[in-house]
Structure 1
Amino acid sequence: MLTAIGETLLAQIGNPTPETPPLADKIMTMVRWLTWFAILSGILAIIFAGGKFAWEKWTGGAMTSPKMIAGAMVGGVIATSAGTIMNALVAA
């Protein structure tokens, strides 16, 4: 397409229609599995730390398990809200 003498439009890009990327369904399945794994591992960490807390209380050992419980809870909150956090960051 010529707009004036000596000026040439080299490429014209149309408005493409959005398409799903290849393997999108498999990637979403993997993300769902990883989400379930993160939630399950957090629950198991809280159960383990609770058992360790009871054992330390029973035997009178050093109390390190409250840190484990707090860490598991903070990690669980971050893991389950990761999607919301990413949506907020990308939209900004």
Structure 2
Amino acid sequence: MLLQALAFGIDLAATIPNPTPEQPPGTQGFTTILNWIAWAVILLGVAGFLASAGFLAFASFTGREINGFKGLIISLIVCILAISAGTIINVFV
């Protein structure tokens, strides 16, 4: 009985289709806009990193290094999330 149920489950799993995502026609402009947004986010993340590094260098004279360090960490997180957004979405979809 157990073997029959297991065999039925294997047969059922073999017949379930595994569709591959395909871009609908006419959405190339939307994809272009998403690429531009991703590029802008990465550009802003790098700019934030450079600004935070400059602030960190300047703040070392006044004793407020923690603000520059927080900015560096936040900009690194933004860049990592922007670069890996596609992979993260593919895990959940």
Moved runs in structure 1, 4+ residues, more than 4 A?
none
In structure 2, distance between residues paired with 1:87 and 1:34: 18
Determine the structure 1 residue equivalent to 2:58: 55
In structure 2, distance between residues paired with 1:27 and 1:38: 17
1:82 aligned onto 2:82: no
Please give the root-mean-square deviation of Cα atoms over the aligned residues, in Å.
1.8
Q: Deviations over 1:7-49 (max 9, x none)?
A: xxxxxxxxxxxx8535401001100100100110000000000
* Runs (5+) with no aligned partner, structure 2: 1-21
- Asked which structure has the greater CA Rg, the reply is 1
1:37 aligned onto 2:40: yes
TM-score by length of 1: 0.70
Determine the structure 2 residue equivalent to 1:14: none
Determine the structure 2 residue equivalent to 1:25: 28
Opposite residue 82 of structure 1, the aligned amino acid is A
- Bigger share in helix: 2
Opposite residue 25 of structure 1, the aligned amino acid is Q
